[in-house]
Amino acid sequence: LFINEQLMINPSPGNIYRAIQKDDFFNGQPLLNYLPFDNFPVVTGDIARLHQLNISEQMYNYYYSIFNLTASSPVSGDVPPGNIKGNIVNLNKPDKNALGYFGACSISIKTKSI
């Protein structure tokens, strides 16, 4: 969410906003008039822009696991207690897990003048 080109939501773990959400109730259907966070005041003349990234269920599970492990810590940026297995393979040492996740997503951007 951007208001007047200023990023309003930092997607880092530990914030009060859920930057990653399941689509259990939408199941791939278009979202109409969706308001994810309504506690950012806007006034006449402001421009709001929302970016929605659409990711696969596997990618969601990977990022959600990281978010849950790090958000439970009172220290911002704390290291997860264990490795979260991604989908990248170490070809030279297959017994060693590579760190990370490779994925692609589509993005929807909506802009509204208030």
The pLDDT tens digits of the residues spanning 12-24 come to: 555 555 566 667 7
What's the confidence (pLDDT) of residue 39? 72
Which residues does 57 contact at the CB level (< 8 Å), separation at least 6?
none
Q: How many domains does the chain have?
A: 1
What's the confidence (pLDDT) of residue 5? 92
What's the confidence (pLDDT) of residue 34? 58
Residues spanned by the domain of 55: 1-114
What's the confidence (pLDDT) of residue 100? 76
Q: Residue 3 — φ and ψ, nearest 5°?
A: -125, 120
What's the confidence (pLDDT) of residue 13? 52
Burial 31-68 (b: 16+ CB within 10 A, else e): eeeeeeeeeeeeeeeeebebeeeebeeebbebbeebbe
Collect the ranges in the chain with pLDDT lower than 70: 10-22, 25-28, 30-38, 69-83
Which residues does 109 contact at the CB level (< 8 Å), separation at least 6?
49, 50, 51, 52
What's the confidence (pLDDT) of residue 4? 93
Residues 88, 11: Cα–Cα separation, whole Å = 23
